């Protein structure tokens, strides 16, 4: 865990309506952050190589956001320079009939990263505290117990060598409207537009309330949440890359020692 103005401290309450979505930190414009972001991406590539070679740690990165929040774009940009052999993405859709026959974490645990790998969750186990709560798919007596179950699950992963970093990409309702309209106006982007997003937009306040509970109850020392101002995509990318790099740097990874006798090896 690192110090960051965007980290949610355990038990910390947030009124998301009052948390800026258009913050740009120390940068005044996109151009000001370009070099810093590029440096982070280069460092991330090096750290991912160390992670893959050392095989001592696993890394789980959780991305959650309202619709159009930028999860896909963040993955594409922030991880553009890493080796695909050491990085994988799992997108959690509506549970299948088989998954529904198991506990809500069954499919999640199967997707957890092995040592040496970075795994990115595009949506995650937190959907059980968001969609299922907002749409009353399960009763409160069921979903209200899942905060503790998730904390226990993440502690298990952390104790077994997984570094967990969780990001809530925080956009405003006005910014969501602009992004939805942009998809509608551009025929080449119609494939990204879903009428279902308009229906979900009606539940904005309910989702914000659900996220506030998730952030307060499930940001721990083992698995911290970060609220990322995401109206500006370029700043979102800097916050993510900076947080990930500084977290991985603290693992103090190194390449494994070479086998003995390599100095005497001759290749004919």
- Three-state DSSP at 69 gives coil
Structural domain range at position 207: 7-251
Of 38, 22, 86, 87, the C-alpha closest to 236 is: 22
Q: Is residue 101 part of a domain?
A: yes
Q: Is residue 118 part of a domain?
A: yes
Q: Is residue 266 part of a domain?
A: no
Q: What is the pLDDT of residue 263?
A: 84
Write the CATH number for 190: 3.40.50.300
Q: Is residue 262 part of a domain?
A: no
Q: What is the pLDDT of residue 260?
A: 84
Alpha-carbon distance of 19 to 211, in angstroms, equals: 13
102 DSSP 8-state letter = S
Structure confidence by residue, pLDDT tens digits, 40-67: 999 999 999 999 999 999 999 999 999 9
Alpha-carbon distance of 21 to 137, in angstroms, equals: 29
Q: Is residue 144 part of a domain?
A: yes
Q: What is the pLDDT of residue 220?
A: 98
Q: How many domains does the chain have?
A: 1
Q: Which residues of the chain have pLDDT under 50?
A: none
Q: Is residue 59 part of a domain?
A: yes
Q: What is the pLDDT of residue 196?
A: 85
Q: Is residue 238 part of a domain?
A: yes
Q: Is residue 187 part of a domain?
A: yes
């Amino acid at each position: 865990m690192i110090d960051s103005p965007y980290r949610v401290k355990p038990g910390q309450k947030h009124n998301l309506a009052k948390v800026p979505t258009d913050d740009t930190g120390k940068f005044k414009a996109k151009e000001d952050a370009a070099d810093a972001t590029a440096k982070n991406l280069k460092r991330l590539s090096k750290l991912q190589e160390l992670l893959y070679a050392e095989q001592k740690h696993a890394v789980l990165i959780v991305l959650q956001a309202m619709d159009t929040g930028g999860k896909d774009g963040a993955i594409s940009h922030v991880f553009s320079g890493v080796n695909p052999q050491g990085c994988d993405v799992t997108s959690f859709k509506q549970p299948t009939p088989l998954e529904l026959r198991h506990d809500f974490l069954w499919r999640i645990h199967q997707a957890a990263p092995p040592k040496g790998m970075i795994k990115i969750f595009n949506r995650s186990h937190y959907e059980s505290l968001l969609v299922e709560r907002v749409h009353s798919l399960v009763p409160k007596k069921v979903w209200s117990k899942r905060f503790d179950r998730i904390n226990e699950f993440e502690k298990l992963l952390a104790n077994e060598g997984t570094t967990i970093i969780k990001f809530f990409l925080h956009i405003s309702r006005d910014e969501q409207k602009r992004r939805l309209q942009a998809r509608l106006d551009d025929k080449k982007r119609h494939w990204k537009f879903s009428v279902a997003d308009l229906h979900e937009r009606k539940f904005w306040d309910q989702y914000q309330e659900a996220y506030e509970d998730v952030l307060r109850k499930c940001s721990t020392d083992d698995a911290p949440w970060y609220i990322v101002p995401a109206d500006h995509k370029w700043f979102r990318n800097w916050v993510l890359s900076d947080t990930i790099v500084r977290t991985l740097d603290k693992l103090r990874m190194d390449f494994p020692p070479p086998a003995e006798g390599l100095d005497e090896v001759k290749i004919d």
